[in-house]
A and B are shown apart, each in its own frame.
Chain A
Amino acid sequence: MSLFQYDFMQRAFVAALIVGVIAPLIGVFLVQRRLALLGDGMGHVALTGVGLAFLVGSAPIPTALVVAALGAVLLEVIRARSRTAGDLALALVFYGGIAGGVFLTSLAGGKATTSLNQYLFGSLSTVSATDLIGLGVAATVVLVVLAIFGRELFAMSLDSELAQVQGIRTTLMSTLLTVMAAISVVVGMRTVGLLLVSAIMIVPIAAAQQLTRSFTVTAVIGVALGLVSTTAGLTSSYYLDVPPGPTIVLIALAIFVLAGLAGYVARRRSRLARR
Chain B
Amino acid sequence: MRPIFSLTEGCVDYDGNHVLHDVDLTINRGEFVAVLGDNGSGKTTLMRALLTLTPLDHGYLTIDSVPATRFREWNDIAYVPQRLLSAGAVPVSVAEVVATTSISSRTRFQWWSRARKMAVRTALEQVGLWERRNDRLDTLSGGQQRRVLIASALAKGATVFILDEPTAGVDGENQEMIAGTFRLIRDQGGTVILVTHELGTFTDLATRVVILDHGRVSYDGPAPGPTRAHDHGVHHSEDLRPIEPPSTLFGTAGGDAS
Binding site for B on A (CB under 8 A): 28, 31-34, 148-149, 151-152, 154-155, 157-169, 205, 209, 212-218
Contacts and interface: CB of A to CB of B under 8 A. Distances in A.
B23 interface: no
Contact of B79 (A158, A162, A209, A218): A162
B101 A169 contact: no
Nearest to B53: A161
A34 B91 CA distance: 13
17 contacts: A28-B90, A34-B89, A155-B103, A158-B84, A158-B85, A159-B84, A161-B51, A164-B53, A165-B79, A166-B74, A167-B105, A168-B105, A209-B90, A212-B91, A215-B90, A215-B96, A218-B91
Report the 7 A-B pairs with minimum CB-CB distance, sorted nearest first.
Answer: A167-B74, A214-B93, A165-B79, A159-B85, A32-B90, A151-B103, A213-B136
B166 to A, nearest CB: 15
B19 to A, nearest CB: 15
B188 interface: no
Contacts of B77: 165
B81 A159 contact: yes
Contacts of B113: none
B105 A33 contact: no
Interface string B78-119: 110100111101111101110011011101100100000000
Which of B52, B53, B87, B89 is packed against the most chain A CB atoms within 10 Å?
A: B89
B219 to A, nearest CB: 27
B62 interface: no
Given A158-B84, A164-B53, A151 B108 contact: yes
B141 interface: no
Given A33-B86, A159-B85, A167-B74, A152 B93 contact: no
A200 B91 CA distance: 19
B135 interface: yes
B134 interface: yes
A209 B75 contact: no
A268 to B, nearest CB: 14
Contact of A166 (B52, B87, B96, B104): B104
Contacts of B230: none
Contacts of B105: 152, 167-169
Contacts of A32: 86, 89-90, 92
Given A152-B104, A163-B103, A167-B105, 7 more contacts: A151-B108, A151-B111, A160-B85, A162-B79, A205-B90, A214-B93, A216-B96
B53 A214 contact: no
B11 to A, nearest CB: 18
Contact of A215 (B51, B91, B111): B91
Given A158-B86, A162-B81, A213 B111 contact: no
Contacts of B93: 213-215
B2 interface: no
A214 B96 contact: yes
Contacts of B78: 165
A168 B81 contact: no
Interface string B114-142: 00000000000000000000111000000
B72 interface: yes
A209 B136 CA distance: 11
Given A167-B104, A168-B105, A31 B89 contact: yes
Nearest to B74: A167
Contacts of B103: 151-152, 154-155, 163, 166, 168
B91 A166 contact: no
Given A152-B105, A158-B92, A162-B81, A213 B86 contact: no
A151 B96 CA distance: 10
Interface in B43-75: 51-53, 72, 74-75
Contacts of A213: 91, 93, 134-136
B106 to A, nearest CB: 8
Interface in B131-164: 134-136, 156
A36 to B, nearest CB: 9
Contacts of B136: 213-214
Nearest to B72: A167
Nearest to A28: B90
Contacts of A167: 72, 74-75, 104-105
Contacts of B74: 165-167
